């Protein structure tokens, strides 16, 4: 049985990242197979329910009011619009619907409105996820009461690099929100962004923070920076694709039972790079032609990619739940 660790040292993680590529991928893929069906990928669809005019200054984000992008701001969407989008995502095969809002934190009034949306999406038979910024303990509990399955809140990068990217909220603020989500018994979705000009040690630092949380996040989104004109990080030197794959592999090794999500940036990735990410342990994606405000691959393209790789889109979320830690027999051989 794969043993879960929460005491990873930075040097150990760097040593994993620095291995010869084939050794790293073999190790990650072996662990992946011990814990998951290697040919199954879960798909979630995203919807921005409140867009732009965000008071935070995240250097990567087109929705920050601090930057001058072409993005059109939009108030909180009416619930009918949300239901229509969720139904369309379900019809295309998504099993989870993730709603994102450009808030520093929701007000209690905001939360009531989002709670209604969560109820409506659950009624369609989908899992729900929201990402609304910072939460208090009480707010996390009311989202739980509304039936929320997952809350997404990213650490984004290492503690040392963080100040180069965001100044309006601290790393500790983020850890506190994650603790509130965990304490409210909501599944945690937490990851970060690569390709923001960080060093390999920063990538190790992000993964170290995630893996050393008291419990591993159930879902770990690894985003490749989508560069948007008008944001401070536009023009950053692109990350070597193989370094991105290495990071996915190390996320799989450190958090063997977590779903690793190949997240933003797929529209600019080759099929071959995505195939390597799936081999390295990624087993979920965002599906649908838009992320929150930027482009994602066409669904037809994703379908073809899955076909050519023999990947099955997860259709039954109960199977994943039934294979939670401990209950899946180990395969006898590769």
Choosing from 96, 182, 189, 246, which is the catalytic residue? 189
If we measure between CA atoms, which residue out of 43, 103, 46 comes closest to residue 76? Answer: 103
Could you say whether residue 46 binds ligand SF4 (CB under 6 A)? no
By CB under 6 A, residue 131 contacts ligand DTB? yes
* Cα four-point dihedral sign 14, 17, 18, 19: positive
Q: Which of 106, 195, 217, 221 binds ligand DTB (CB under 6 A)?
A: 221
For residue 276 the two structure tokens come to 């390597």
Binders of ligand DTB among residues 54 to 83 (CB under 6 A) are 62
Q: How far apart (Å, rounded) are the C-alpha atoms in residues 258 and 211?
A: 10
Q: Which residues contact 295 (CB under 8 A, 6 or more apart)?
A: 267, 289
With CB cut-offs between 5 and 8 Å by kind, which of ligand DTB, ligand SF4, ligand SAM, none does residue 293 bind? ligand DTB
Q: Is 130 in the site for ligand SF4 (CB under 6 A)?
A: no
- DSSP assignment, residue 256? T
Q: Which does 64 bind (CB under 5 to 8 A by kind): ligand DTB, ligand SF4, ligand SAM, none?
A: ligand SF4
> For ligand DTB, which residue of 82, 264, 276, 305 counts as binding (CB under 6 A)?
264
| Cα–Cα distance measured from residue 295 to residue 6, given in angstroms and rounded to the nearest whole number | 35
Among 16, 28, 31, 61, which residue interacts with ligand SF4 (rule: CB under 6 A)?
Answer: 61
**What pairs with residue 47 in β-bridges?**
99
**Quick check: 241 binds ligand DTB (CB under 6 A)?**
no
Nearer to ligand DTB, 27 or 106 (CB): 106
DSSP alpha helix (H) spans, the chain: 10-18, 21-35, 79-91, 108-123, 137-145, 159-162, 171-183, 200-211, 241-254, 271-280, 299-309, 317-322
Applying CB under 6 A, among 97, 103, 151, 244 the residue interacting with ligand SAM is 103
Which of these is catalytic: 98, 182, 252, 277? 98
Residue 75: how many CA atoms within 13 Å on its side-chain side?
Answer: 4
Rank residues 165 and 292 by Cβ distance to ligand DTB and give the closer one.
292
The question of whether 277 is a catalytic residue gets the answer: no
The residue within the footprint of ligand SAM, chosen from 140, 226, 250, 305 (CB under 6 A), is: 226
| Those residues with Cβ within 8 angstroms of residue 312's Cβ, 6 or more apart along the chain or in another chain | 37, 39, 40, 41, 306
Q: Pull the structure tokens for residue 100.
A: 């994102």
Catalytic residues: 54, 58, 61, 98, 129, 189, 261
The residue ranges that bind ligand DTB (CB under 6 A) are 46, 62, 98, 100, 131, 152, 154, 191, 221, 223, 226, 263-264, 291-294
Using CB under 6 A, list all residues that contact ligand SF4.
Answer: 54, 56, 58, 61, 63-64, 102, 133
């Amino acid at each position: 049985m794969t043993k879960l660790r929460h005491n990873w040292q930075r040097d150990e993680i760097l040593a994993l990242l620095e291995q010869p590529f084939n050794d790293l991928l073999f190790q990650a893929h072996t662990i992946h197979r011990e814990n998951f069906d290697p040919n199954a990928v879960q798909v979630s669809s995203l919807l921005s329910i409140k867009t732009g005019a965000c008071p935070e200054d995240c250097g990567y984000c087109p929705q920050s009011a601090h930057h001058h992008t072409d993005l059109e701001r939009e108030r909180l969407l009416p619930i009918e619009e949300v239901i229509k989008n969720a139904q369309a995502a379900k019809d295309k095969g998504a099993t989870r619907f993730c709603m994102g809002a450009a808030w520093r934190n929701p007000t209690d009034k905001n939360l009531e409105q989002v709670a209604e949306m969560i109820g409506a999406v659950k009624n369609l038979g989908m899992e729900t996820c929201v990402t609304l910024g910072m939460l208090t303990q009480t707010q996390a509990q009311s989202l739980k009461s509304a039936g929320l399955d997952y809350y997404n809140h990213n650490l984004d990068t290492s503690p040392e690099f963080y100040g180069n990217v965001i100044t309006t909220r601290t790393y500790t603020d983020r850890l506190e929100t994650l603790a509130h989500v965990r304490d409210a018994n909501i599944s945690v979705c937490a990851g970060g962004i690569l390709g923001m000009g960080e060093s390999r040690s920063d990538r190790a630092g992000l993964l170290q923070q995630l893996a050393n949380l008291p419990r591993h996040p159930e879902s770990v989104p690894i985003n490749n920076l989508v560069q948007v004109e008008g944001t401070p990080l536009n023009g950053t030197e692109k990350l070597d694709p193989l370094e991105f794959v290495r990071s996915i592999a190390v996320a799989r090794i450190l958090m063997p039972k977590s779903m690793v999500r190949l997240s933003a940036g797929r529209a600019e990735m080759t099929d071959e790079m995505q195939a390597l990410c799936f081999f390295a342990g990624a087993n979920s994606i965002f599906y649908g032609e838009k992320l929150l405000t930027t482009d994602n691959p066409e669904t037809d393209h994703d379908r073809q990619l899955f076909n050519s790789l023999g990947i099955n889109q997860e259709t039954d979320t109960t199977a994943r739940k039934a294979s939670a830690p401990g209950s899946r027999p180990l395969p006898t051989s590769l």
